[in-house]
């Protein structure tokens, strides 16, 4: 049985109608047998981002949250700063491995990627860059396998029931 996943696109310029990265993530999670719990778009404002994430993190029916966008270095990019204080634990290897994989396609530009992952109130949270290439890389090469209970030797999905011990 798949997991309930909420998607949040962080952007000052996109709409749900032209959100290629969000559309890609939704198609991928549904193809993998997961359920879209909710999908929203939010401006690059750390307090609005925290409000939306906090609502999902507090909702026991949402098991995973994936954000895309706002991870760059410009003044408006504040998604990591918005999300990190909400996390109970970080999954440090996620950002490290994502940057290694991204290096294959974008070279040293991967230094600008401030993606991260963690757990908050028993909910897995993944913070991704907003580009189509970035969300595709993250889903296909990292997240998909870790949310699949059949992945061996271990996966995040099998830890879900133990996160609040």
Please give the pLDDT value at position 1. 74
Please give the pLDDT value at position 43. 93
Q: Given the structure tokens 């974008």, which residue do they identify? A: 106
Residue 134, domain CATH: 3.40.980.10
For residue 80, give the H/E element and its range: helix 79-83
Q: Given the structure tokens 């580009």, which residue do they identify? A: 131
For every one of its 165 residues, what pLDDT tens digit does the chain have, with 9 covering 90 and above? 799 999 999 998 888 889 999 999 999 999 999 999 999 999 999 999 999 999 999 999 999 999 999 888 888 889 999 999 999 999 999 999 999 999 999 989 888 889 999 999 999 999 999 999 999 999 999 999 999 999 999 999 999 889 888
Please give the pLDDT value at position 39. 98
Q: How far is 38 from 8, CA to CA, in rounded Å?
A: 8
Range of the domain at 22: 4-162
Number of domain units in the chain = 1
Q: How far is 69 from 128, CA to CA, in rounded Å?
A: 6
Please give the pLDDT value at position 110. 87
Please give the pLDDT value at position 156. 94
Please give the pLDDT value at position 76. 86
Please give the pLDDT value at position 114. 92
Cα 121 to Cα 35, 40, 45, 57, 73, distances in angstroms: 20, 20, 22, 6, 28
């Amino acid at each position: 049985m798949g997991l309930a996943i909420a998607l949040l696109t962080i952007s000052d310029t996109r709409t749900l109608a032209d959100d290629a990265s969000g559309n890609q993530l939704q198609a991928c999670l549904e193809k993998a047998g997961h359920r879209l719990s909710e999908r929203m778009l939010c401006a690059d404002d750390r307090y609005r981002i925290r409000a939306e994430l906090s609502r999902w993190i507090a909702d026991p029916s949402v098991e995973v949250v994936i954000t895309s966008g706002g991870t760059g270095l410009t003044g408006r990019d504040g998604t990591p700063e918005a999300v990190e204080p909400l996390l109970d634990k970080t999954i440090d290897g996620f950002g490290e491995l994502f940057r290694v994989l991204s290096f294959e396609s974008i070279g040293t530009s991967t230094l600008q990627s401030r993606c991260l992952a963690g757990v908050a109130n028993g909910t897995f949270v993944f913070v991704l860059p907003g580009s189509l290439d970035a969300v595709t890389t993250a889903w296909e090469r990292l997240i998909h396998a870790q949310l699949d209970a059949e992945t061996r030797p271990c996966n995040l999905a099998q830890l879900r029931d133990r996160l609040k011990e």
